[in-house]
Amino acid sequence: MSFRDGWIRPVAALVRKDLLTELRTREVVTAMLVFAVMTLVMFNFALRLRAENFRVLAPGILWVTLVFAGTLGLNRSMSSEQLNQCIDGLLLAPCDRAVIFLGKAITNAAFTLLVAVVVLPVMGILFDEAMVRPGVWLVTLLGVIGYSGAGTLIATMAASTRAREVFLPILLFPLALPLLTAAVIATSGYVDAAPFAEFGSWVGVIVAFIVMFWTAGTLLFEPLVEG
């Protein structure tokens, strides 16, 4: 079996299935978008009342918003497969179990990036800060990919528990703290037009986070769903 037939086609089929499901229901992305925009509006009004220069807080607010909104999508990604034992149908598919992880992680990343496409321009308007920059988009892309990989792995662990809505953030947020820290510092560097040498190592931290958790997801997904 070729690499294309063994991995690319099954992953593409799973991503297509999730995208078509979302196009029909519009549940996940709509909830994520509404939550993200409302969070930005609340931060904007609250900080204007207390902070003299709230613009410097924009990178941190961006990532807090994306992390919280992304968690909504992660909660839904695996829990939806538990309904009517849909996950059993996926496990019966004649493909590597890692394909399911990759398909789910890519879909989660796509949904969160869609939210980011809306959030960044809105932040630029509310916080009077130039957020729509190539460097900021690059860090956002890398950060979302890393968070989606780790989040999909933890969501798989939490999906079989009764308190999965609580279990997921309790495990995921501490685990994602290095990624969040690196993403905020790297975003601040691009927003402030600082030399890349001052924050480039933090971009490397994000890349390392991606490699570590996407590799862990492909290796650990099968024992997690069958355990």
DSSP one-letter string for 141-201: HHHHHHHHHHHHHHHHHHTTSTTHHHHHHHHHHHHHHHHHHHHHHHHHHHHTT--HHHHHH
pLDDT of residue 21: 82
Total Cβ atoms within 10 A of residue 199: 19
Euclidean distance between CA atoms 105 and 132, whole angstroms: 25
Q: Is residue 180 over pLDDT 80?
A: yes
Total domains present in the chain? 1
Residue 97: DSSP 8-state: T
Name the pLDDT band for 141 (thresholds 50, 70, 90).
very high
Please give the C-alpha separations between residue 224 and each of 97, 101, 115, 160, in angstroms, as whole numbers.
10, 11, 29, 10
d(CA 52, CA 134): 28
Which of 71-85, 134-148, 149-163, 176-190 shows the lowest per-residue confidence on average (mean pLDDT)? 71-85
Give percent of the chain above pLDDT 90.
37
Burial 25-62 (b: 16+ CB within 10 A, else e): eeebbeebbebbbebbeebbeebeeeeeebeebbbbbb
Using alpha carbons only, what angle is made at residue 30 by residues 65 and 115, rounded to the nearest 5 degrees? 40
Residue that is written with structure tokens 């029909």 in the block: 24
**φ, ψ of residue 72 in degrees (nearest 5):** -60, -45
Of all residues in the chain, what percent are helix, strand and coil, respectively (each to 5)?
Answer: 85, 0, 15
CA-based radius of gyration for the chain: 18
User: In this predicted structure, which of 49-53, 112-116, 174-178 has the lowest mean pLDDT?
Assistant: 49-53
Residue 82: pLDDT band with limits 50, 70, 90: low
Full domain range(s) for residue 131: 3-226
Distances (CA, A) of 129 to 58, 61, 133: 8, 12, 11
